[in-house]
Structure 1
Amino acid sequence: MIQLIPAIDIIDGKCVRLTKGNYSTKTVYCDDPVYMAKCFEDCGCKRLHIVDLDGAKARHIVNIKVLKDITDNTNLIIDFGGGIKTDDDIKNAFDNGASMVTVGSIAVTNNSIFENWLSKYGANRIILGADVRNGKIAINGWEKDSGIDLLAFLEHYINLGVKNVLCTDISKDGTLTGPAISLYKDIMSKFPDLNLIASGGVSCIDDILDLEKENIPAVVFGKSFYEGKIKLSELWDLQKE
Protein backbone atom coordinates (compact mmCIF):
# COMPACT_ATOMS: atom_id res chain seq x y z
CA MET A 1 0.00 0.00 0.00
CA ILE A 2 1.40 3.38 -1.01
CA GLN A 3 1.73 5.76 1.94
CA LEU A 4 -0.57 8.78 1.68
CA ILE A 5 0.96 12.04 2.91
CA PRO A 6 -1.28 15.11 2.69
CA ALA A 7 0.45 18.47 2.49
CA ILE A 8 -0.24 21.75 4.21
CA ASP A 9 1.69 24.66 2.69
CA ILE A 10 1.80 27.78 4.85
CA ILE A 11 1.96 31.48 4.04
CA ASP A 12 1.02 33.99 6.76
CA GLY A 13 -0.23 31.14 8.95
CA LYS A 14 -2.79 30.02 6.33
CA CYS A 15 -3.14 26.93 4.13
CA VAL A 16 -2.26 27.85 0.57
CA ARG A 17 -1.20 26.29 -2.70
CA LEU A 18 1.02 27.65 -5.43
CA THR A 19 1.34 26.62 -9.07
CA LYS A 20 4.82 25.52 -10.16
CA GLY A 21 6.24 27.19 -7.05
CA ASN A 22 5.28 30.68 -8.22
CA TYR A 23 4.38 32.78 -5.17
CA SER A 24 2.26 35.13 -7.28
CA THR A 25 -0.16 32.25 -7.95
CA LYS A 26 -1.02 31.83 -4.26
CA THR A 27 -4.52 30.56 -3.46
CA VAL A 28 -5.66 30.51 0.18
CA TYR A 29 -7.76 27.43 0.94
CA CYS A 30 -8.13 27.58 4.72
CA ASP A 31 -7.33 30.05 7.48
CA ASP A 32 -6.98 27.27 10.08
CA PRO A 33 -4.20 24.74 9.46
CA VAL A 34 -5.08 22.82 12.64
CA TYR A 35 -8.60 22.22 11.36
CA MET A 36 -7.22 20.98 8.06
CA ALA A 37 -4.74 18.68 9.79
CA LYS A 38 -7.57 17.21 11.87
CA CYS A 39 -9.56 16.56 8.69
CA PHE A 40 -6.69 14.50 7.30
CA GLU A 41 -6.29 12.66 10.59
CA ASP A 42 -10.02 11.91 10.76
CA CYS A 43 -9.89 10.22 7.35
CA GLY A 44 -7.17 7.84 8.47
CA CYS A 45 -3.98 9.60 7.39
CA LYS A 46 -1.05 9.06 9.73
CA ARG A 47 1.47 11.42 8.16
CA LEU A 48 1.47 15.13 7.33
CA HIS A 49 3.91 17.18 5.26
CA ILE A 50 4.09 20.84 6.33
CA VAL A 51 5.90 23.36 4.15
CA ASP A 52 6.75 26.78 5.53
CA LEU A 53 6.67 28.72 2.26
CA ASP A 54 7.45 31.98 4.05
CA GLY A 55 10.45 30.23 5.56
CA ALA A 56 11.63 28.87 2.22
CA LYS A 57 11.63 32.38 0.81
CA ALA A 58 13.12 34.06 3.90
CA ARG A 59 15.74 31.29 4.33
CA HIS A 60 14.83 30.72 7.96
CA ILE A 61 11.81 29.18 9.68
CA VAL A 62 8.87 31.60 9.94
CA ASN A 63 5.71 29.60 10.70
CA ILE A 64 6.93 27.57 13.67
CA LYS A 65 3.69 28.27 15.58
CA VAL A 66 1.68 26.38 12.96
CA LEU A 67 3.88 23.32 13.49
CA LYS A 68 3.50 23.56 17.28
CA ASP A 69 -0.28 24.02 17.11
CA ILE A 70 -0.72 20.99 14.84
CA THR A 71 1.52 18.73 16.90
CA ASP A 72 -0.29 19.83 20.08
CA ASN A 73 -3.72 19.06 18.62
CA THR A 74 -3.19 15.90 16.51
CA ASN A 75 -1.33 12.60 16.66
CA LEU A 76 -0.04 12.95 13.12
CA ILE A 77 3.57 12.10 12.30
CA ILE A 78 4.80 15.36 10.86
CA ASP A 79 7.65 16.16 8.56
CA PHE A 80 8.40 19.85 8.33
CA GLY A 81 10.31 21.75 5.69
CA GLY A 82 10.95 25.26 4.47
CA GLY A 83 13.68 27.60 5.70
CA ILE A 84 15.77 25.04 7.59
CA LYS A 85 19.25 26.48 7.08
CA THR A 86 21.01 26.44 10.46
CA ASP A 87 21.50 24.23 13.51
CA ASP A 88 19.03 26.46 15.36
CA ASP A 89 16.42 26.00 12.62
CA ILE A 90 16.53 22.21 12.67
CA LYS A 91 16.55 22.11 16.47
CA ASN A 92 13.58 24.49 16.51
CA ALA A 93 11.62 22.19 14.19
CA PHE A 94 12.31 19.09 16.27
CA ASP A 95 11.68 20.91 19.57
CA ASN A 96 8.26 22.01 18.29
CA GLY A 97 7.06 18.55 17.38
CA ALA A 98 8.40 17.58 13.96
CA SER A 99 9.22 13.88 13.77
CA MET A 100 11.19 14.45 10.58
CA VAL A 101 12.43 17.40 8.59
CA THR A 102 12.65 17.85 4.84
CA VAL A 103 15.87 19.59 3.86
CA GLY A 104 16.75 20.52 0.31
CA SER A 105 18.53 23.79 -0.38
CA ILE A 106 21.16 23.42 2.34
CA ALA A 107 22.15 20.04 0.88
CA VAL A 108 23.15 21.99 -2.23
CA THR A 109 24.66 25.12 -0.72
CA ASN A 110 26.36 23.63 2.36
CA ASN A 111 26.67 19.89 2.16
CA SER A 112 28.84 19.68 5.29
CA ILE A 113 25.97 20.99 7.42
CA PHE A 114 23.56 18.52 5.83
CA GLU A 115 25.96 15.64 6.38
CA ASN A 116 26.38 16.67 10.02
CA TRP A 117 22.60 16.66 10.51
CA LEU A 118 22.36 13.25 8.86
CA SER A 119 24.91 11.93 11.33
CA LYS A 120 23.50 13.73 14.38
CA TYR A 121 19.79 13.04 13.92
CA GLY A 122 19.89 9.84 11.85
CA ALA A 123 18.69 8.94 8.37
CA ASN A 124 15.18 8.10 9.61
CA ARG A 125 14.59 11.70 10.69
CA ILE A 126 16.07 13.48 7.68
CA ILE A 127 14.25 13.63 4.33
CA LEU A 128 16.31 14.90 1.43
CA GLY A 129 14.24 17.33 -0.60
CA ALA A 130 14.96 16.97 -4.30
CA ASP A 131 13.03 19.66 -6.14
CA VAL A 132 13.63 19.23 -9.84
CA ARG A 133 13.09 21.40 -12.88
CA ASN A 134 14.22 20.17 -16.31
CA GLY A 135 16.30 17.46 -14.67
CA LYS A 136 18.18 19.89 -12.41
CA ILE A 137 17.85 20.65 -8.70
CA ALA A 138 16.17 23.96 -7.77
CA ILE A 139 16.64 25.67 -4.39
CA ASN A 140 15.45 28.51 -2.13
CA GLY A 141 11.73 28.11 -2.62
CA TRP A 142 12.40 27.02 -6.23
CA GLU A 143 13.51 30.53 -7.10
CA LYS A 144 17.02 29.46 -8.15
CA ASP A 145 18.27 26.63 -10.36
CA SER A 146 21.44 25.00 -9.05
CA GLY A 147 22.51 23.34 -12.31
CA ILE A 148 23.05 20.06 -10.42
CA ASP A 149 21.79 16.89 -12.08
CA LEU A 150 19.04 15.14 -10.10
CA LEU A 151 20.33 11.58 -10.27
CA ALA A 152 23.90 12.60 -9.42
CA PHE A 153 22.58 14.61 -6.48
CA LEU A 154 20.61 11.64 -5.19
CA GLU A 155 23.46 9.20 -5.69
CA HIS A 156 25.86 11.37 -3.70
CA TYR A 157 23.62 11.51 -0.65
CA ILE A 158 22.31 7.96 -0.84
CA ASN A 159 25.95 6.83 -0.71
CA LEU A 160 26.24 8.86 2.51
CA GLY A 161 23.26 7.10 4.08
CA VAL A 162 20.15 9.00 2.98
CA LYS A 163 17.11 6.71 2.98
CA ASN A 164 14.22 9.13 2.44
CA VAL A 165 13.82 11.42 -0.56
CA LEU A 166 10.93 13.77 -1.34
CA CYS A 167 11.10 14.46 -5.07
CA THR A 168 8.93 17.22 -6.50
CA ASP A 169 8.67 17.81 -10.23
CA ILE A 170 8.22 21.58 -10.19
CA SER A 171 6.66 21.60 -13.66
CA LYS A 172 3.85 19.44 -12.26
CA ASP A 173 3.37 21.00 -8.85
CA GLY A 174 -0.07 22.52 -8.35
CA THR A 175 -1.10 21.87 -11.95
CA LEU A 176 -3.42 18.86 -11.38
CA THR A 177 -2.04 17.32 -14.58
CA GLY A 178 -0.89 14.01 -13.10
CA PRO A 179 2.41 13.05 -11.44
CA ALA A 180 5.71 12.56 -13.24
CA ILE A 181 5.50 8.78 -13.11
CA SER A 182 8.32 8.20 -15.60
CA LEU A 183 10.64 10.34 -13.46
CA TYR A 184 9.86 8.34 -10.34
CA LYS A 185 10.24 5.04 -12.20
CA ASP A 186 13.69 6.14 -13.34
CA ILE A 187 14.68 7.00 -9.77
CA MET A 188 13.39 3.70 -8.37
CA SER A 189 15.11 1.77 -11.15
CA LYS A 190 18.46 3.26 -10.14
CA PHE A 191 17.83 3.23 -6.37
CA PRO A 192 15.40 0.34 -5.70
CA ASP A 193 15.76 0.46 -1.90
CA LEU A 194 15.01 4.18 -1.62
CA ASN A 195 11.97 5.38 0.32
CA LEU A 196 10.87 7.73 -2.45
CA ILE A 197 8.06 10.18 -1.82
CA ALA A 198 6.50 11.43 -5.06
CA SER A 199 5.21 14.99 -5.10
CA GLY A 200 3.56 17.21 -7.67
CA GLY A 201 0.66 16.95 -10.10
CA VAL A 202 -1.63 14.52 -8.29
CA SER A 203 -5.15 15.25 -9.55
CA CYS A 204 -7.28 12.33 -8.33
CA ILE A 205 -7.26 8.98 -6.56
CA ASP A 206 -6.45 7.22 -9.85
CA ASP A 207 -3.12 9.11 -10.00
CA ILE A 208 -2.25 7.71 -6.58
CA LEU A 209 -3.23 4.21 -7.67
CA ASP A 210 -1.07 4.57 -10.78
CA LEU A 211 1.91 5.43 -8.58
CA GLU A 212 1.13 2.45 -6.39
CA LYS A 213 1.13 0.16 -9.44
CA GLU A 214 4.68 1.32 -10.14
CA ASN A 215 5.71 0.49 -6.55
CA ILE A 216 6.38 4.09 -5.60
CA PRO A 217 6.55 3.94 -1.77
CA ALA A 218 4.76 7.19 -0.88
CA VAL A 219 2.99 10.21 -2.32
CA VAL A 220 2.36 13.79 -1.20
CA PHE A 221 -0.83 15.46 -2.37
CA GLY A 222 -2.51 18.77 -1.58
CA LYS A 223 -4.25 20.85 -4.22
CA SER A 224 -6.30 17.89 -5.50
CA PHE A 225 -7.87 17.61 -2.06
CA TYR A 226 -8.41 21.33 -1.56
CA GLU A 227 -10.02 21.60 -4.99
CA GLY A 228 -12.42 18.73 -4.19
CA LYS A 229 -10.96 16.32 -6.74
CA ILE A 230 -10.05 13.87 -3.97
CA LYS A 231 -12.76 13.32 -1.38
CA LEU A 232 -12.37 12.55 2.31
CA SER A 233 -14.37 9.37 1.74
CA GLU A 234 -11.93 8.25 -0.98
CA LEU A 235 -8.99 8.78 1.33
CA TRP A 236 -10.75 6.83 4.07
CA ASP A 237 -11.50 3.94 1.73
CA LEU A 238 -7.94 3.86 0.43
CA GLN A 239 -6.52 3.85 3.95
CA LYS A 240 -8.62 0.79 4.80
CA GLU A 241 -7.36 -1.31 1.87
Structure 2
Amino acid sequence: MAKAFEGAGLRYLHLVDLDGAKAGRYVNGPVLERICTQTSLQVDTGGGIKTEADLRLAFESGAAQVNIGSLAVKDRETLLGWLARYGGEKIILSADVRDRQIAVAGWQEQTRVEVTDFIRGYMAAGIRTAVVTDIAKDGMLTGSSVGLYTDLLQALPGLDLVASGGVSSLAELDTLQAAGLGGAIIGKAIYEGRISPEDLGRWAAEKSEGRGEQSEREDA
Protein backbone atom coordinates (compact mmCIF):
# COMPACT_ATOMS: atom_id res chain seq x y z
CA MET A 1 0.00 0.00 0.00
CA ALA A 2 2.83 2.39 0.82
CA LYS A 3 4.29 1.85 -2.65
CA ALA A 4 0.87 2.57 -4.17
CA PHE A 5 0.76 5.86 -2.28
CA GLU A 6 4.25 6.72 -3.48
CA GLY A 7 3.33 5.79 -7.04
CA ALA A 8 0.37 8.16 -6.88
CA GLY A 9 2.73 11.02 -6.10
CA LEU A 10 2.07 11.24 -2.38
CA ARG A 11 4.87 12.14 -0.01
CA TYR A 12 3.65 11.57 3.55
CA LEU A 13 2.44 8.51 5.44
CA HIS A 14 0.89 8.36 8.91
CA LEU A 15 1.62 4.86 10.23
CA VAL A 16 -0.13 3.61 13.38
CA ASP A 17 1.26 0.59 15.21
CA LEU A 18 -2.02 -0.93 16.42
CA ASP A 19 -0.20 -4.01 17.68
CA GLY A 20 2.08 -1.75 19.67
CA ALA A 21 -0.83 0.21 21.10
CA LYS A 22 -2.29 -3.06 22.43
CA ALA A 23 1.07 -4.36 23.66
CA GLY A 24 2.09 -1.10 25.32
CA ARG A 25 5.35 -0.92 23.37
CA TYR A 26 6.38 -0.19 19.79
CA VAL A 27 6.55 -3.53 17.96
CA ASN A 28 6.27 -2.87 14.23
CA GLY A 29 9.74 -1.47 13.71
CA PRO A 30 10.49 -3.98 10.91
CA VAL A 31 7.38 -2.87 8.98
CA LEU A 32 8.34 0.77 9.41
CA GLU A 33 11.90 0.05 8.30
CA ARG A 34 10.74 -1.71 5.12
CA ILE A 35 8.51 1.20 4.20
CA CYS A 36 11.24 3.75 4.86
CA THR A 37 13.93 1.84 2.95
CA GLN A 38 11.76 0.77 0.01
CA THR A 39 9.92 4.06 -0.57
CA SER A 40 10.73 7.75 -0.41
CA LEU A 41 7.72 8.49 1.80
CA GLN A 42 8.20 10.68 4.84
CA VAL A 43 6.67 8.62 7.64
CA ASP A 44 5.37 9.70 11.01
CA THR A 45 4.37 6.92 13.37
CA GLY A 46 2.81 6.25 16.73
CA GLY A 47 1.17 3.58 18.83
CA GLY A 48 2.69 2.00 21.91
CA ILE A 49 5.55 4.47 22.31
CA LYS A 50 5.92 4.54 26.08
CA THR A 51 9.68 4.49 26.69
CA GLU A 52 12.74 6.11 25.20
CA ALA A 53 13.70 2.69 23.83
CA ASP A 54 10.43 2.71 21.85
CA LEU A 55 11.16 6.22 20.65
CA ARG A 56 14.67 5.32 19.52
CA LEU A 57 13.38 2.21 17.75
CA ALA A 58 10.93 4.30 15.73
CA PHE A 59 13.61 6.79 14.74
CA GLU A 60 16.21 4.12 14.00
CA SER A 61 13.64 2.31 11.83
CA GLY A 62 13.31 5.43 9.69
CA ALA A 63 10.49 7.53 11.13
CA ALA A 64 10.83 11.23 10.40
CA GLN A 65 8.54 12.06 13.33
CA VAL A 66 6.74 10.23 16.12
CA ASN A 67 3.26 10.85 17.53
CA ILE A 68 2.85 10.96 21.30
CA GLY A 69 -0.64 10.89 22.78
CA SER A 70 -1.55 9.18 26.04
CA LEU A 71 1.93 9.56 27.48
CA ALA A 72 1.67 13.33 26.99
CA VAL A 73 -1.27 13.32 29.39
CA LYS A 74 -0.02 10.75 31.88
CA ASP A 75 3.71 11.48 32.02
CA ARG A 76 4.42 15.08 31.12
CA GLU A 77 7.95 15.04 32.54
CA THR A 78 9.03 12.20 30.26
CA LEU A 79 7.75 13.97 27.17
CA LEU A 80 9.37 17.23 28.22
CA GLY A 81 12.66 15.36 28.48
CA TRP A 82 12.24 13.91 24.99
CA LEU A 83 11.44 17.34 23.59
CA ALA A 84 14.61 18.71 25.15
CA ARG A 85 16.73 15.89 23.70
CA TYR A 86 15.15 15.33 20.27
CA GLY A 87 13.54 18.69 19.50
CA GLY A 88 9.98 19.77 18.86
CA GLU A 89 10.28 19.19 15.12
CA LYS A 90 10.70 15.43 15.69
CA ILE A 91 7.71 14.88 17.97
CA ILE A 92 4.06 15.40 17.04
CA LEU A 93 1.56 15.93 19.83
CA SER A 94 -1.47 13.69 19.31
CA ALA A 95 -4.73 14.79 20.92
CA ASP A 96 -7.89 12.68 20.75
CA VAL A 97 -10.83 14.76 21.88
CA ARG A 98 -14.42 14.24 22.90
CA ASP A 99 -16.39 17.43 23.55
CA ARG A 100 -13.05 19.29 23.38
CA GLN A 101 -11.58 17.30 26.26
CA ILE A 102 -8.73 14.82 25.92
CA ALA A 103 -9.41 11.07 25.92
CA VAL A 104 -6.62 8.51 26.33
CA ALA A 105 -6.02 4.76 26.36
CA GLY A 106 -7.68 4.12 23.02
CA TRP A 107 -10.46 6.58 23.88
CA GLN A 108 -11.48 4.46 26.87
CA GLU A 109 -10.43 7.01 29.50
CA GLN A 110 -11.98 10.46 29.41
CA THR A 111 -10.08 13.28 31.10
CA ARG A 112 -11.08 16.82 31.98
CA VAL A 113 -8.06 18.25 30.19
CA GLU A 114 -9.21 20.88 27.70
CA VAL A 115 -7.53 20.50 24.32
CA THR A 116 -6.47 24.14 23.87
CA ASP A 117 -4.74 24.27 27.24
CA PHE A 118 -3.18 20.86 26.59
CA ILE A 119 -1.59 21.93 23.31
CA ARG A 120 -0.60 25.37 24.59
CA GLY A 121 1.35 23.82 27.45
CA TYR A 122 3.43 21.72 25.07
CA MET A 123 3.93 24.51 22.54
CA ALA A 124 5.74 26.37 25.31
CA ALA A 125 8.08 23.36 25.51
CA GLY A 126 8.79 23.28 21.78
CA ILE A 127 5.95 21.34 20.14
CA ARG A 128 5.29 22.66 16.64
CA THR A 129 2.78 20.18 15.22
CA ALA A 130 -0.36 18.66 16.73
CA VAL A 131 -2.73 16.07 15.28
CA VAL A 132 -6.21 16.56 16.70
CA THR A 133 -8.76 13.79 16.24
CA ASP A 134 -12.42 14.44 16.96
CA ILE A 135 -13.51 11.05 18.27
CA ALA A 136 -17.13 11.66 17.25
CA LYS A 137 -16.01 12.13 13.63
CA ASP A 138 -13.35 9.44 13.30
CA GLY A 139 -14.27 6.76 10.78
CA MET A 140 -17.70 8.26 10.15
CA LEU A 141 -16.91 10.02 6.84
CA THR A 142 -19.31 12.80 7.80
CA GLY A 143 -16.94 15.75 7.54
CA SER A 144 -14.24 17.28 9.70
CA SER A 145 -14.65 19.41 12.81
CA VAL A 146 -13.77 22.65 11.07
CA GLY A 147 -15.17 24.75 13.91
CA LEU A 148 -12.94 23.03 16.45
CA TYR A 149 -9.87 23.44 14.27
CA THR A 150 -10.61 27.09 13.53
CA ASP A 151 -10.95 27.82 17.24
CA LEU A 152 -7.64 26.07 17.97
CA LEU A 153 -5.79 28.01 15.29
CA GLN A 154 -7.17 31.30 16.57
CA ALA A 155 -6.18 30.47 20.14
CA LEU A 156 -2.78 28.98 19.28
CA PRO A 157 -0.97 31.13 16.71
CA GLY A 158 2.01 29.40 15.15
CA LEU A 159 0.64 25.88 15.57
CA ASP A 160 0.97 23.48 12.63
CA LEU A 161 -2.39 21.77 13.04
CA VAL A 162 -3.27 18.48 11.35
CA ALA A 163 -6.91 17.39 11.13
CA SER A 164 -7.92 13.80 11.77
CA GLY A 165 -11.36 12.24 11.57
CA GLY A 166 -14.23 12.55 9.14
CA VAL A 167 -12.48 13.61 5.93
CA SER A 168 -14.40 12.11 3.01
CA SER A 169 -13.73 14.31 -0.02
CA LEU A 170 -11.17 16.53 -1.69
CA ALA A 171 -13.54 19.47 -1.22
CA GLU A 172 -13.12 19.07 2.53
CA LEU A 173 -9.37 19.34 2.10
CA ASP A 174 -9.92 22.67 0.34
CA THR A 175 -12.01 23.81 3.31
CA LEU A 176 -9.37 22.72 5.82
CA GLN A 177 -6.59 24.41 3.88
CA ALA A 178 -8.61 27.62 3.64
CA ALA A 179 -9.11 27.48 7.41
CA GLY A 180 -5.34 27.44 7.88
CA LEU A 181 -4.61 23.81 8.69
CA GLY A 182 -1.24 22.41 7.75
CA GLY A 183 -2.47 18.94 6.87
CA ALA A 184 -5.06 16.21 7.24
CA ILE A 185 -4.94 12.48 7.91
CA ILE A 186 -7.00 10.47 5.45
CA GLY A 187 -7.63 6.78 5.99
CA LYS A 188 -11.09 5.29 5.66
CA ALA A 189 -12.00 7.54 2.72
CA ILE A 190 -9.17 5.96 0.73
CA TYR A 191 -9.85 2.38 1.74
CA GLU A 192 -13.57 2.73 0.98
CA GLY A 193 -12.96 4.36 -2.39
CA ARG A 194 -14.24 7.85 -1.58
CA ILE A 195 -10.85 9.35 -2.45
CA SER A 196 -8.35 7.61 -4.70
CA PRO A 197 -4.61 7.92 -4.05
CA GLU A 198 -4.23 9.19 -7.62
CA ASP A 199 -6.78 11.97 -7.17
CA LEU A 200 -5.21 12.87 -3.85
CA GLY A 201 -1.78 12.98 -5.45
CA ARG A 202 -3.04 15.31 -8.17
CA TRP A 203 -4.74 17.52 -5.58
CA ALA A 204 -1.53 17.77 -3.56
CA ALA A 205 0.53 18.56 -6.66
CA GLU A 206 -1.85 21.34 -7.67
CA LYS A 207 -1.74 22.86 -4.20
CA SER A 208 2.05 22.73 -4.01
CA GLU A 209 2.24 24.55 -7.34
CA GLY A 210 -0.38 27.10 -6.32
CA ARG A 211 -1.13 28.50 -2.90
CA GLY A 212 1.36 26.38 -1.02
CA GLU A 213 1.72 22.79 0.01
CA GLN A 214 -0.58 21.07 2.46
CA SER A 215 0.46 17.80 4.04
CA GLU A 216 -1.99 15.06 3.08
CA ARG A 217 -1.01 12.22 5.42
CA GLU A 218 -2.34 8.85 4.35
CA ASP A 219 -3.28 6.61 7.25
CA ALA A 220 -1.96 3.05 7.27
Same fold (TM over 0.5): yes
Report the 3-state secondary structure (helix = DSSP H, G, I; strand = E; otherwise coil) of the residue aligned with 2:94.
Answer: strand
Aligned residue identity for 1:192:
P
Alignment correspondent of 2:73: 108
Unaligned runs of 5+ in 2: 207-220
* The one of 111, 124, 140 aligned to 1:175: 140
Where do 5+ consecutive residues of structure 1 fail to align? 1-35
Does residue 136 (structure 1) correspond to residue 101 (structure 2)? The answer is: yes
The answer as to 2:13 corresponding to 1:40 is: no
Moved over 3 A (4+): none
Pairing of 1:48-127 with structure 2 (within 5 A): 48-127=13-92
Per the TM alignment, residue 59 of structure 1 is displaced from its structure 2 partner at its CA by 1.7
Amino acid in the other structure paired with 2:37:
D
Q: Which amino acid aligns with 1:134?
A: D
Q: Count how many residue pairs are aligned between Structure 1 and Structure 2.
A: 206
Whether the aligned pair in 1 keeps the contact of 2:116 and 2:156 (CA below 8 Å) is: no
Amino acid paired to 1:205: L
Q: How far does residue 148 in structure 1 lie from its aligned partner after superposition?
A: 1.1
Alignment check: 8 A CA contact 1:103 1:129 kept: yes
Instruction: Report the AA paired with residue 182 of structure 2.
Output: P
Name the % identity.
Answer: 43
2:147 aligned with 1:147 = no
Q: Tell me, what secondary structure is at the counterpart of 1:208? A: helix
Of 119, 123, 126, the match for 1:161 = 126
Structure 2 Cα separation of the partners of residues 87 and 157 of structure 1 = 18
Amino acid at match of 2:96: D
Larger proportion of strand: 1
Residue 205 in structure 1 maps to residue 170 in structure 2: yes
**Distance across 2 between alignment mates of 1:39 and 1:143:** 33
Output the aligned Cα RMSD: 1.1
User: How big is the shift at 1:62?
Assistant: 2.4
CA distance in 1 between partners of 2:21 and 2:107 (Å): 9
Residue 140 of structure 1: CA displacement? 1.9
Report the counterpart of residue 232 of structure 1 in structure 2. Answer: 197
Residue 157 of structure 2 aligns to a residue whose secondary structure is coil
TM-score (structure 2 length as normaliser): 0.90
Residue pair 1:197, 1:219 contacting (<8 A) in 2 also: yes
**Residue aligned with 2:58, SS:** helix
Q: Secondary structure at the match of 2:44?
A: strand
